[in-house]
Amino acid sequence: MPQLVRFMMRHAAIGFAIAIAFVTVLMVSDFNGVGTLILGSDMWYVALFMLTFFTGLTCASVQMGLAIFALGEDDETPGTGERVWARAVSAVRAWLAPPPQRAPAMVKPSRRAHR
Task: Identify which of 16, 54, 22, 17 has the alpha carbon closest to the alpha carbon of residue 35.
Answer: 22
Beta carbons of 12 and 56 less than 8 angstroms apart: no
Supply the pTM of this predicted model.
0.60
Q: What is the pLDDT of residue 55?
A: 97
Q: How far apart, in whole angstroms, are the C-alpha atoms of residue 105 and residue 60?
A: 56
pLDDT in tens, the chain (115 residues): 888 899 999 999 999 999 999 999 999 999 999 999 999 999 999 999 999 999 999 999 999 999 988 887 665 666 666 777 788 888 888 778 777 788 888 888 777 766 5
Q: What is the pLDDT of residue 115?
A: 59
